[in-house]
Chains A and B, each alone.
Chain A
């Protein structure tokens, strides 16, 4: 029988190889591209003369940095809203759904069975000038003209992203809530705590690790989001990810796109590390 040392390579090896081959190495390649001094299409046979020119170009462009800040703020709002809205859903599944929890959890995950693009396009129908929301407001006599704010705007991006992430955010919150020992709630009740006191002083503190995990799981990918802003953001809803996508795609300028991507990565890591330090994740997890 294999011991711990013997089984470790078989358990860790495949995912590690996958991660190294398809994440670490490509990331390293992106770093190398970001250090290329050429702009635009890199001519074949170009000498390797590493330079920080691309980084300088990004840092010297206030509009790029402002958009990065705006994108981080949007990600913060989306992650916060999605986590808050997911919490009651997860609470219901953990403590109130009973035997039907599996059914409700399946229903919660049904949207994942539908193409992401299709779900986003559906929001165009919801938010458009002749869409469901404008029609309802107009039908109720609340507005005379369709609200332009609903589509092709940053609020439209935030609304749609929150919708997209709620089921995703509910999962880590649910996992956190399910870890709470019922005996702890019973002990609180025995000590005279009412339902609200039990919730605020026992359930919420013990579920914070799950909520923090949900927040970061939404925040990190949202900073670089570009599909939703492309489809429903309009010119006012453009995010930093759109710049990166543009340089890697239509502009064909990988070095500058790579520098933009690396700066975003560094900022995201710094923000997450700072936030983790502030909320003291290690203590929460222990």
Chain B
């Protein structure tokens, strides 16, 4: 009898805990209060910071090359990773109480972290490499005039095309051109599809109306058969398709462009009349971290020359460290980043922040397109 009772109680308790996790979560205000209390008690007892760092990161960025300076300066500090699949997934993990000390996400999501109290200000006076970051990038990491985010990697989104099969591309509308049926590859991402349509039709990307969204949906349903496939991973899906020349036209980042150039594939990266899209990757320090000083050190070392050079040379992504960008001599990378065009970033469109409702509508629209 007691055995039955204990077993039943255990099952009920475990179920209740999981159900509670699904039904409720700690609110930001509660979290902030707990955090403040913790800070106060920490201040009284002056507890030492844990000497380990947990990073909520994207797959591939856990390569030691991407924290080489920190590993060299602090070899005794273990760096571990938790991974996110997308910006939405990373934000969701932070909201769900991830224990990560720092997290990595991309343009357009800054406001969510600030509004929900998930991030704390970066004390840039303690960053020795901060002066190497251009002011325009620093500004992108500010919300309400406060430097919450550290810009780290950046790049373009534009049209990658095969120069032997496609004449010079001057507009994003080539992604919708039936003449290239079966040889187009669009990124499997609703907001990106909305961005392309907004560029092509001159819509205000931050104020897409219901009618415009319906038109965009119809446009991409008509475009769907033109694709060989939608790509999800730049290096696993898209690049092989570009290099084996299955794909002639693709929505792409410059990393795949550089990869294809190195492989000798006849490709070009368009400068469409509507402008390229630009994006920046940011790191934030969790509001709940117990290792603020260590997180600062980690981020400072992320900006250091060796680590940033690795980002450029191994991933073909832009670096927020301008010294590293200025030192690029490889003609392929100069071409990929437009290093010889100092005004290139000014002629691009940075991904604007949009609301959660907009993103949800756009991803649901994209699911309907995929299902057709």
Contacts and interface: CB of A to CB of B under 8 A. Distances in A.
Interface in A3-62: 9, 13, 17, 20-21, 25-26, 28-29, 32-33, 39-46, 48, 57, 61
Contacts of B230: 234-235
A132 interface: no
A186 interface: no
B227 A235 contact: yes
A235 B86 contact: no
B228 A63 contact: no
A249 B86 contact: yes
Contacts of B246: 128-129, 151-152
Interface string A132-152: 000000000000000010011
Contacts of B366: 246, 251
Nearest to A252: B88
Contact of B244 (A20, A28, A61, A129): A129
Contact of A63 (B28, B232, B372): B372
Interface size class of A (residues with CB under 8 A): 35 or more
A41 B364 contact: no
A29 B229 contact: no
Contacts, number: 140
B92 A252 contact: yes
B367 A246 contact: yes
B207 interface: no
B313 interface: no
B95 A250 contact: no
Given A29-B22, A234-B228, A40 B367 contact: no
Interface in A112-126: none
A252 B95 CA distance: 12
Given A41-B92, A45-B25, A242-B370, A234 B227 contact: yes
B14 A21 contact: yes
A148 B95 contact: no
Contacts of A40: 88, 356-357, 359-360, 363
Interface stretch (B182-190, B268-276, B314-322): B182-190
A261 to B, nearest CB: 13
Interface residues of B, number: 53
Contact of A247 (B22, B224, B367): B367
Given A29-B18, A130-B244, A253 B364 contact: yes
Contacts of B225: 235-236
A48 B24 contact: yes
A171 interface: no
Contacts of B47: none
A41 B244 contact: no
Nearest to B363: A251
B1 interface: no
B292 to A, nearest CB: 22
Contacts of A105: none
Which 10 pairs show the lowest CB-CB distances between chains A and B? A252-B88, A45-B27, A40-B360, A251-B363, A63-B371, A250-B86, A234-B229, A44-B25, A67-B371, A32-B22
Interface of A: 9, 13, 17, 20-21, 25-26, 28-29, 32-33, 39-46, 48, 57, 61, 63-64, 66-67, 128-130, 148, 151-152, 230, 233-236, 238, 240, 242-243, 246-247, 249-254, 256
Interface of B: 3, 7, 11, 14-15, 18-19, 21-31, 85-89, 91-92, 95, 112, 116, 182, 188-190, 224-225, 227-230, 232, 244, 246, 356-357, 359-360, 363-364, 366-368, 370-372
